[in-house]
Amino acid sequence: MSLRFLASVTAVTLVGVALAACGGGDSDVGTGRAAGKPTAAGFAPTLAAARGQTVRWWMYGGDDKVNAYVDDTVAPAARKLGVRVERVPVVDTADAVQRVVAERRAGKTSNGSVDLIWINGENFAGGKKAGLWLKSWAKGLPNSRYLDPKDPTIRTDFQVPVEGQESPWQRAAFVFAHDSDRVRTPPRDLDGLLAFAREHPGRVTYPAPPDFTGSAFVRQVVAAKGEDAAFAYLRELRSVSYRRGETYPKSEAELSRLFGDGQVDFAMSYDPAFVNSGVRKGQFPRTARPFSLADGSLQNTSFVTIPANAAHREGAQVIADLLLTPRLQAAKADPDSIGNPTVLDLDRLAGRRGLFAETEDSKYLLSDYGRTLAELPANRVEDLEKRWTLEVLRQSP
């Protein structure tokens, strides 16, 4: 999912967007909580108002696993509550945000065509700055009780405070892959990766930013080493990279193809289940294994947000709450589905923790991503990509 955000959003002046989120709640749909906390009774009016609504969920449509999960798991669960999910696929999340911007510019402060958006990073930050999102609604979702409120990847989105304007549904971690037949012991840290590249010239590369995965690799190095040291590292890595850095893979898909064909020794992705998927599709050998680096793994969370002018705000809240149910989170974490780690705090699940047991036993999924490297502020992403182009891509071999 791209982090690109259309610059025009930040110039939008919006009036009268202080819309109150309705309801509260606490369960699967569940039981009450202490005074001052959401209760099932508090969320009941939202559930009632949502019945009969069709929620138009605008989301990146290029991931077949996610599309199948929404169609085959989320949508049937929603129908049981009287809500229909209409998945609106987009190539770039910014397309959904731009639709909201266009409607607000046209004075459409209600009955908007976008009810829910899969979002994070610059798209959320820009929309929040412009006042596009419904406020405080996520704090009242029943299943938010399964979240760790102190988790920085839940409280902030690329270091932008969430403040109840979006709800988490999918966690991501930057993961590498090696073929255990070719490389029995992968590098343990970034310095080890560079040492490997020196010893095996041409066997290491990464996608060129602004490709999402390539940009994330650059950010991981920056987060681990500091910006100036990171760019010194990346310049040195180029000289021993695939084709001496004269060309880089254009995308994660191209890097995965090179890895699967044995032309390079490592692949990488911000999808922590990409090794599992690659093996299932026959793209990667069955001896492929995921690994993380001791310097830390860049991690973030994908959220859903509701535009303030959404036509079906109640239905959108019901869908967002469903996405947090242990059963649906476990279905998404299943290696045979998406295989992404849950956003829920497993210690809060009590007897339901067993739903996630299968994900902890897969050799194609990591159960521990090591030290968390917090995502950099959203407004730094483009500047780092530009610096990479000037200092790494265009440097003389």
Q: What is the CATH number of the domain that holds 102?
A: 3.40.190.10
Residue type, 336: D
Whole-number average pLDDT of the chain: 88
Q: How many domains does the chain have?
A: 2
* 339 and 276 in a common domain: no
CA 142, CA 137: separation in Å to the nearest integer?
A: 11
Residues 20-35 pLDDT 10s = 333 333 333 333 333 3
Are residues 187 and 226 located together in one domain of the fold?
yes
Does 63 share its domain with 162?
yes
Q: What is the span of the domain harbouring residue 271?
A: 175-291+373-393
Which residues touch 352 (CB under 8 Å, ≥6 apart)? 326, 330
| Same domain flag for 54 and 164 | yes
Residues 303-359 pLDDT 10s: 999 999 999 999 999 999 999 999 999 999 988 888 888 999 999 998 888 888 766
Cα separation of 199 and 201, whole Å? 6
pLDDT higher than threshold 60 for residue 36: no
Cα(197)–Cα(187) distance, integer angstroms: 10
* CA distance linking residue 121 with residue 4, whole number of Å: 9
Query: For residue range 268-279, what is the model confidence (pLDDT) as tens digits?
Result: 999 999 999 999
395: left (phi over 0), alpha (psi -120 to 50) or beta: beta
Q: Does residue 178 carry a pLDDT above 80?
A: yes
Q: What pLDDT is recorded for position 358?
A: 67
pLDDT surpassing 90 at residue 285: yes
Tally of CB atoms within 10 A around 327: 13
Report yes or no on 357 lying in a domain: yes
Helical (H) or strand (E) element with 94: helix 93-105
pLDDT > 70: what percent of the chain?
88
Q: Are 39 and 25 in contact (CB under 8 A)?
A: yes
Q: Examine the domain organization and report whether 154 and 195 are in the same domain.
A: no
Q: Distance between CA 366 and CA 143 in Å, rounded?
A: 25
Condensed to tens digits (0 to 9), the pLDDT of residues 192-215 reads 999 999 999 999 999 999 998 999
Distance CA 15, CA 20 (A): 15
Q: 362-373, pLDDT tens digit by residue?
A: 899 898 888 889
Residue 289, burial from CB neighbour count under 10 angstroms (0-12, 13-18, 19+): buried
Per-residue model confidence (pLDDT) at position 338 = 87
On whether both 346 and 229 belong to a single domain, the answer is no
> For residue 1, is it within any domain?
no
Are 277 and 309 within one domain?
no
User: Do 67 and 122 fall within a single domain?
Assistant: yes
* Residue of 39 and 96 predicted with greater confidence: 96
Convert the pLDDT of each residue in 109-147 to its tens digit: 999 999 999 999 889 999 999 999 999 999 999 999 999
Tens of pLDDT, residues 64-94: 889 999 999 999 999 999 999 999 999 999 9
pLDDT for position 27: 36
Q: Is residue 339 part of a domain?
A: yes
Statement to judge: residues 192 and 217 lie in one domain? yes
131 within some domain: yes
Q: Does residue 326 sit within a domain?
A: yes
- Tell whether the model's pLDDT for residue 53 goes beyond 80: yes
48 located within any domain: yes
What's the mean pLDDT in 284-301? 95
Q: CA 128: distance to chain centroid?
A: 18
24 and 150 together in one domain: yes
Considering the domain architecture, whether residues 377 and 359 belong to the same structural domain is answered as no
296 within a domain of the structure (yes/no): no
More confident residue, 267 or 4: 267
Sorting pLDDT into bands at 50, 70 and 90, what band is 360?
A: low
Let me know if residue 40 belongs to a domain.
yes
Q: Which pTM does this prediction carry? A: 0.80
Q: Are residues 151 and 253 in the same domain?
A: no
What pLDDT does residue 38 have? 61
Would you say residue 8 has pLDDT above 50?
A: no
Tell me: cis bond preceding 207? Omega within 30 of 0 counts.
no
